[in-house]
Amino acid sequence: MSVLPKINMRRTLLIARRDYFGYIKTWGFWISFFLPFVFGIIGFFAASMDFDFSPPKYETILDQTGQHEAGIKAKLDADNQKVMRTAIEGMTKTPLFSDQQGEALLKAFDDGGTEAAKAYIRATIPTAAGQLDNALDNLDFNVIFVEPPARSLDGLMPYLLGDSKIMVDGEPQKLNGALLLTPNGSETKIEYWSTQINSPKVQSLTERYFRDRAEDAYLSSKGLSKEGLKAARSGSSEVVIYNPEKAADETGGGQAVTKEDRIPYAVAMGLSIVLWFTVFSGAYMLLTSMLEEKLNKLLEMMLASTRFSEIILGKLLGVAALTITALAPYIIIGIVGIIGVIAVGPPEISAALQQSFTPQILLFFALFLVLGYIFYGACFIALGSLSQSMQDAQTLTTPIVLILTLCMLVVPIGLENPDSPIIYAASFFPLSSPFAMLIRLPSNPQLWEVLLSVGILLLSCIAVIMLAGRIFRFGVLSGAGVGAVSAWFKRTVLRRSAG
Amino acid sequence: MSNSPLSLSNVSKSFAGKPAVQGASFTVNPGEIVGFLGPNGAGKTTTLRMALGLIDPDEGDVKLFGETPGEQAFGRIGFLPEERGLYKKQTAREAIAHMARLNGVKGREAFKLADDMLDKYGLGDAKRKKNKDMSKGMAQKVQLLSAIAHNPEFYILDEPFSGLDPVNQQVLEGIVREISQGGNTIIFSTHVMEHAERLCDRIILMSGGRVVFDGSTESALDKAPRRMVLSSESGGLTEIVTPFAKSVEQREDGALQLVLKDDAKAHVILEECVTKKVKLTRFEPKAPTLHEAFVELVGADVTAQMDLDAQEALS
C-alpha cells in the first residue's frame, strides 16, 4: 500500500486554478504587481529630468570674529568632496567595475577631481556612463553659502522669516539659515538661526569645523600635523587575502581573493533571499486562502466531492503559481539586472557572474525552493485550518514566523563563515536547511551533505503533509481551533486539566 | 450490494466524551424525500457528516451507495452544508460552474449549466455579480444551485430553508419537488415541520442523538392526537361525546374540543348525535399536524425547542 495519498489531478488543478484566479482577478494584486515597475518608471523619469527632490538650502555666515567663515566654507567643500569620493567608491564595488578599474577610477578622482572621474567612466564603461554621470550630478550637496544680505541678526530676520528674499543667479530665494559667530572673550559664541529646526547640516558642519580646529591646535602644540598623521597611516600595510582552494595561474600566483571570487557568495545570498521571500509570501497566501475557505464554510461542500489530499495539493500548486506571478516583477528586474551586468560589465565580472549560476546551484535552488515552499506551506495550511479568525491565525503562526525570521539570520553568518557549526547544523535541520544549504553551496560542501540535506527535507515534507492532512481534517470538520490546541497543550505538555 | 443511497446501522459518535449520535439506524431508499428533523443539538448535522464520510463514526456502519463513504460517491452526491458561504470574489456563474466541474462536469458545459440554472431560478441578472455583492437570500440560492448543478443522484441538504425569506422558501420547495420528480433521492434536515409535512415521503426524527421516529409522514401524523370540534344549539352534546374522548374542553366560543380515543370513529360520533336528535351546528374533525405528532413522540419541551430553533433559523 502506498503511503502517498491518491490524487485526481483534474480536481487538484481545478482547486489550484480557483485559488490562482481568485487572487489574480483582484485589483489589489495588479496594483502590487505593477508597483515596482511604476516606481521604476517614476525613478527613471525623475533621474532623466534631473528632478531635484531636495532643493538647495541657502545659508549665510555672519562672522563677527573675522576668523572662521573661510574655514567653515572650506570644510563644506571638503565634505562635498568626501561625499563624491564615497559615491565613486560605492560605484567601484558594483559588478560594473573590476578591482583594477575601481582602483583606477578612484585614482582619477583623487588626482583630477569629479570631472576626471567622469572622463574615466566615459572612457571605460561608455554604456553606463550616462546613468553614472547623473548619479554623481544628483548627489545631495544641498547646502550653499551665500553672502549675508544684512550685517546684523535683526537685519537678517525678515529673510529668515521669509518676508524678504535673497537673489541667487537673478532668482529670488528664501534664506534657510544664518550662522552667527561673535567673539566671547577668548572663545567664540556660535548661534544658528533658522525656521527649519530639523535641518542640522550647518550645525553639524560647524561643530566638526571647530572640533578639527581643536585637534589641529593640539597636534601642533606637540609639533605634529594632520597631514603627518595621514601620511603615517597611508604607509601602513594592507593584508592581501589568499585562498588555497583557488587554482593557481601558470606563474604559480593568482590565488589572491578578488571581487570575482566573492560573486558566487553574493549570488547564493541573493537566491536565499528570493527563496525566503517566496516561502514567506507563499505560506502567508496559503494561510489566508485556507482561512477564507474555512470561514466561508466552503470546505465541507468541497469535501463531498474532493479528497483532503487534493485540496491541500491544489492549494499548494495554486498559491505557488500565484507567488511566482506576484514575485515576477522582482524576478524580471533581477534577471534584467544580471543580464545587464553580464552584457556591459567588465569581462572578468561577467564571467564570474555567469559561472556563479552553475547547474548545481540552479538545481539545488529549484529543489530547495519547491521543498521549502511545500514544507512551510503545509504547516501554514494546517495552522489556517485550526484558526477561526485572522487573530487566531496570527497567534498560531507567530512561532513559525519567528523560526522563518531566524532562518534568514543564518544567511549573513553563512556568508561570512560557511563552515561554522551553526550553519552546518542548520543545513540539515528541515526548518532552516533550504536557506542554510544554499548559502553553503559556493564553498563546495561534500555532495553527500547536500543530498542528505535534500533527503531530510523531502522526508520532513512528507511527514508534514501527512500531519497537516490530519490537522486539516480535525480543524475543518471538528471546528477545532486555538482553544483545542491550547487544551491539548495543557493536557499533554503541562499535564493538567484544561478546565 | 444494497442499492440504497444511504444506510446507517447502529451508528454512534461522541465528541470529547459527549455523545452526539447514539445508535442511529435508518435507510434512505431510492427516490424518497426524507425529512430529517430534530431540535438543535439533536445530532442531525453529525449524522449527515458521517453519511458523507467527512467524519468517521465511533461505532456502527455507514454505507453510501452500498459502500463505505468515499470517492466512489464523488459526483453522485449534492451536498449543501448547514453553514453557508461562497468565495466572495467569485461571480454566481463561476461559483456554480466551479462546483459542477469539481463534480465531473466538463468546463464549457459547466458554465452553460450555470447560466441555464441561474436563468431558470430567477437569477439571470446576477450571473456576473460577485457573491459579496449579493443579498443573503440570493447567495443561498447560488450555493444551493452549486450543490445541485451536476444533477446528482442523491441530495443531502443540511438546513436548506434556514435564513430564507418566505418567498425564497417557496422557491426552494419548488426546487426540491422538481429534483425529486426525476427519481432522485433527497434527505434534508430542518427544524421547520411544515416543510417536512409538505415535501416529505418519510420523516426521521432525532432527539438527544437518537432516532426517535422513522416512518412515513402519514404514520407520523397517525401519532398525533385526533381532535374534533363540535357545537350544538341543543343540550346533551357533552354526554354523547365523552365516551369517545380522552379529553373534552369547552372553548371560548362555546364549542367543544375533543381529543379522540384511539378507537373512536368520527362517523360513529355523528351517528350517535343523529340518533339522540342533537342538532349539530359544527362538526369539524381537525387534521393532525406533525407538530402535534412530535409532542406525542418527544414531549412538549423538545417540540417547543424545535419551534424556537425554526423561528431562529428563519429569522
Using one digit for the tens of pLDDT, what is the confidence trace for A38-97? Answer: 888 888 787 666 666 667 889 999 999 999 999 999 999 888 888 888 888 888 877 778
The helix (H) or strand (E) run that includes residue A269 is: helix A259-296
Whole-angstrom distance, CA of residue A433 vs CA of residue A426: 6
Would you tell me which residues 281-300 of chain A have a C-beta closer than 8 angstroms to some C-beta of chain B? 292-293, 295-298, 300
Encode A388-418: b = buried (16+ Cβ within 10 Å), e = exposed. beeebbeebbeebeeebeebbebbeebbeeb
Q: What is the mean pLDDT of residues A338-359?
A: 81
Using one digit for the tens of pLDDT, what is the confidence trace for B166-199? Answer: 888 888 888 889 888 888 999 999 888 888 888 9
Length of chain A in residues, anyone?
499
Using one digit for the tens of pLDDT, what is the confidence trace for A278-296? Answer: 888 888 888 888 888 777 7
Q: Are A354 and A448 in contact (CB under 8 A)?
A: no
Q: What is the mean pLDDT of chain B?
A: 86
Which grid coordinates are listed for A329?
A: 516583477
Whole-angstrom distance, CA of residue B227 vs CA of residue B263: 13
Pairing assessment for the beta strands B154-158 and B185-190 based on DSSP bridges: parallel
pLDDT given at position A126: 80
Domains of chain B, start order: 6-221 (3.40.50.300), 225-286 (3.30.70.980)
CB of A22 within 8 Å of a chain B CB? The answer is yes
Map residue B121 onto helix, strand or coil: coil
pLDDT given at position A256: 78
Its pTM stands at 0.71
User: Chain B residues with CB inside 8 Å of A318's CB?
Assistant: none
pLDDT of residue B84 exceeding 90: no
Domain edges within chain A? 9-30+258-493, 57-229
CB contact under 8 A, A304 and B77: yes
Looking at chain B, which residue has its C-alpha nearest residue A18?
A: B98
Q: What is the mean pLDDT of residues B147-175?
A: 89
Whole-angstrom distance, CA of residue A484 vs CA of residue A486: 5
- Among residues of chain A, what percentage have pLDDT more than 90? 23
Confidence of residue B309 (pLDDT cuts 50, 70, 90): low
pLDDT given at position A499: 38
Q: Which residue has the cell 453557508?
A: B84
CB-closest option in A25, A292, A300 to B54: A300
pLDDT of residue A243 exceeding 70: yes
CB-closest option in A22, A293, A306 to B102: A306
Whole-angstrom distance, CA of residue B187 vs CA of residue A392: 35
CB-closest option in B54, B85, B90 to A477: B54
- CA-nearest of B242, B198, B220 to B292 is B220
- Among residues of chain A, what percentage have pLDDT more than 70? 91
Q: Which candidate in A14, A298, A308 is best for mutational testing of the B interface (most B CBs within 10 A)?
A: A298
pLDDT given at position A481: 57
Using one digit for the tens of pLDDT, what is the confidence trace for A403-449? Answer: 888 888 777 887 778 778 888 898 999 988 998 898 888 888 889 99
Which residues are within 8 A (CB) of A125 and not within 5 positions of it... i.e. 6 or more apart? Answer: A96, A97, A132, A344
